[in-house]
Chain A
Amino acid sequence: MSFLTIHNLSARLKGRPDQILRRVSLQVAAGEVRGLVGESGAGKSMIGKAILGTLPNSVEISGGQIILDGTDLLALPPAQRRRLIGAKCALIPQDPLTALNPSRRIGPQITNRLVDILGWSRSDAEKRALNLLAEVQIPDPARVMRCYPHELSGGMRQRILIASAFAAEPKLIIADEPTTALDVTVQKQILKLIAAMQARHGTALLFVTHDLGVVSKVCQSLSVLYAGMVLEDSTIPDFFAAPKHPYSRALLQATPKYTDPDGSLTPVPDAVIAATRAEVEASDRSAHV
């Protein structure tokens, strides 16, 4: 049984027919790293938000289940659900510049979940935070704990957010494009760090990204999303050997590393997009019957 099972999850804009997620099913086993790829607006972030319970007010879930460690999240009362998420899941956000509270010191921002939600003693939580900061290679962790976010660089902040995500030893971490907001030079280090931390702690990871190159390095399996619909669900070797869906194939071709490095980049052809659109619409119709 997977740690996270999403079954036929649908979401739409409140009071409108616009579908944002279309019967999405995906599974993340304990300790597994699953990539979630798709073009911008495909609904990748929405899946993460649906799991964590942070969907925007304008979006509502119209069907399906999210089963975390055997519990159907959508059936839980909100407070209980929040506490469960807080204890078992964590988020590595996209933009480290806005993901730390500017008016609070770093220390409490790492320890607050441990103390407030999980009931640790303050000194234990602080010890834990210091260890984690050292683990994510932050020099002088004791000083950093007392800093305000604006005193630190973007790369440092992302390291802190990673440390903070691992603080409570969650079973599942959702990383939503954790490197896109960073400098190219820093991106690689952060990516390596996430992979290393995941391996050491054995945490399951749902890794949201545009970048198939990154997926090939970090992930064990992946789901391809288009217009809120899962087109393909494969293991990494299978996918890169032979993608099943024409859209995936085109996507792979559009990724520079997997075509001839000197050859020109082929964008996803219009014909493939049209065919995929048609498929999405057909599936919508069949769902209405």
Chain B
Amino acid sequence: MQFLQSVIIRVCTTLITLIGVAVIVFFTVRVVPGNPIAMMLPPGATEADVARLTALYGLDKPIPQQFVIWLSGVLHGDFGTSITTKQPVLQLVLSRLPATLELSVMALSIAIVIGGIMALTGTRQRGTKTEAAIDVGNGMALSIPDFLWGLILILAFGVLIPIFHISGRVTPSLALPFTSNFYLTESLLRLRFDLWLDIAAHMFMPALALAIPLAAIIGQLLKQSLKETMHLDYVTLARTKGYGETHVILREALPNAILPTLTLVGVQFTFLIGGTVIIERLFSYEGLGNMAIDAVINRDLPLIQGIVILFAVIFTGVNLLVDLTYAALNPRLRHA
């Protein structure tokens, strides 16, 4: 009962946050100097043309009224029409979302694998030089943001040892039989491993750049909580039963040490998704972030609004999901 109640409260605060985001974005983009309509018309267009188009996009009404119209549209799934491409914003955004989602999830998986290995190795080798080396490596990885890792990876594996692709999502000359934009997932489902390999090879560098700082955070935090757990009595008791170090770490300590890491990974995952904006730009990867920067440069207000709202929905959704998972995984909370 209590659990349900806290879920409802959590969902409500999430909605308030989203409305806050919508208000701020809406009013921020309205302040843009220069008339975006005038920019999209060919030179020599008349005042009347500008006025007609302005009215068409609803930009002539007072701003609060524009907001109400826009919000009621949003609630009906209508995010308006992109000024530059004249396509519905929702359609544009949804067509790019899969690319960004696949990139983010790949990055998260890489981060969990690297971070997990670092934490487990560091715990297994605690007190040795290996642990010290892992600590130094984690410290470095944490200090450097994804943008710089991206550039370093481009130099290292795009130029110095050119083994990975450093731009685009897929080799342009390949014929793609896909019906969705989840290229990586769909190529796997269609058993087209040749395509999968090409797409993964394009994705690997940007995903790694996004993953490195998160891997370091996971490595540090998980190692710390593993080491704390290793001192607890039930771990000692398991040792006296005849279990070896590896079993003790994996079976006894890890399930209890992982919960605090999980919450943090949730928040950090939203930071990672935020990082896709610049990383997609850096690697010319055709995702949401890249489209967002183009939209800003072209002053495509409806599109900017749509993308920012979508990001906010993803961020708050991830956080909500993490909180619920946390509650579901922790037996003490579940039965409380």
Bitwise interface map of A from 102 to 141 toward B, beta carbon under 8 Å scored 1, else 0: 1110000000110011000000000000000000000000
A113-B241 in contact given A57-B127, A102-B256, A102-B332 (Cβ < 8 Å): yes
Task: Give the number of chain B interface residues (Cβ < 8 Å).
Answer: 21
**By CB atoms of chain A within 10 A, which of B237, B238, B332 has the most?**
B237
- From the candidates A87, A91, A102, name the one contacting B331 in the complex (CB within 8 A): A102
> Could you tell me which residues of chain B, from 15 to 41, have a CB within 8 Å of some CB in chain A?
none
- The distance from the CB of A162 to the nearest CB of chain B, in whole angstroms, is 12
Contact indicator per residue, chain B 112-131, by CB within 8 Å of chain A (1) or not (0): 00000000000000110000
Mostly helix, strand, loop or mixed at chain B's interface? helix
| Residue picked from B234, B238, B239, B240, most chain A C-beta under 10 Å | B240
In the complex, whether A89 has a CB less than 8 A from a CB of chain B is yes
Beta-carbon contacts under 8 Å, A55-103 to B:
57, 79, 82-83, 85-87, 89-91, 93-95, 98-103
Q: Is B255 in contact with A103, judged by CB distance below 8 angstroms?
A: yes
Contact of B243 among A93, A95, A116, A148 (CB under 8 A): A116
Residues of B within 8 Å of A93, CB to CB, are 233, 236-237
Query: Least Cβ distance of A48 to chain B in Å?
Result: 10
Cβ–Cβ < 8 Å partners of B252 in chain A: 101
Q: Does A264 contact B (CB under 8 A)?
A: no
Per a CB cutoff under 8 Å, which of A87, A89, A98 touches B234?
A: A98
In the bound complex, how far is the Cα of B242 from the Cα of A112, in angstroms? 10
- Determine which of B126, B236, B255, B332 lies in contact with A150 in the assembled complex, contact meaning CB atoms within 8 Å: B332
Complex contact A117–B241 (CB within 8 A):
yes
Bound: A79/B243 CA distance, A? 9
**What is the interface of chain A mostly: helix, strand, loop, or mixed?**
mixed
Contact of B239 among A53, A102, A151 (CB under 8 A): A53
Q: A54-B240, A85-B240 are in contact. Are A95 and B255 (CB under 8 A)?
A: no
Residues of B within 8 A of A151 (CB): 335
Q: Please, which residues of chain B bring their CB within 8 A of the CB of A101?
A: 234, 238, 252, 255-256
CA of A54 to CA of B332, assembled, Å: 29
A13 located at the interface, meaning its Cβ lies under 8 Å from any Cβ of chain B in the complex: no
Closest residue on chain A to residue B241 by CB atoms? A113
Contact yes or no, A86 B331, CB < 8 A: no
- Number of cross-chain contacts by CB at 8 Å: 71
Distance (Å) between the CB of B244 and the closest chain A CB?
A: 6
- The reply on A52 being an interface residue by CB < 8 A is yes
Q: Are A86 and B242 in contact (CB under 8 A)?
A: yes
Q: Does B174 contact A (CB under 8 A)?
A: no
Instruction: Please give the distance in Å from B84's CB to the nearest CB on chain A.
Output: 53
- Which of the residues A57, A90, A98 comes within 8 Å of B240, measured between beta carbons? A90
Q: Which residue of B lies closest to A99 (CB)?
A: B233
Contact flags A32-56 to B (C-beta < 8 A → 1, else 0): 0000000000000000000011100
Contact A82-B236, Cβ < 8 Å, known A103-B331, A151-B335 = no
B331 A99 Cβ-Cβ under 8 A: no
A91 to B161, CA, bound (A): 56
- Given known contacts A102-B331, A148-B335, A150-B332, is B240 in contact with A91 (CB within 8 Å)? yes
Residues on B with beta carbons closer than 8 Å to the beta carbon of A148: 331-332, 335
A86 near B241 (CB under 8 angstroms)?
yes
Separation in Å of the A171 CB from the closest CB of chain B? 14
- Please state if B232 and A150 are interface contacts (CB–CB under 8 Å): no
On chain A, the residues within 8 Å of B241 by CB distance are 86, 90, 112-113, 117
Q: Is the CB of B237 within 8 A of A91?
A: yes
Residue of A nearest to B334 (CB): A148
Instruction: Name 14 interchain pairs, CB-CB below 8 A, sorted by A.
Output: A53-B240, A54-B236, A57-B127, A85-B242, A87-B242, A90-B240, A95-B233, A101-B234, A101-B255, A101-B256, A102-B331, A116-B243, A148-B335, A150-B331
Chain B: residues with CB nearer than 8 A to chain A?
126-127, 232-234, 236-244, 247, 252, 255-256, 331-332, 335
Other than A116-B242, A117-B241, give 11 A-B pairs with Cβ distance below 8 A. Answer: A82-B239, A82-B243, A85-B240, A91-B236, A98-B233, A98-B234, A101-B234, A101-B255, A102-B331, A103-B256, A116-B247
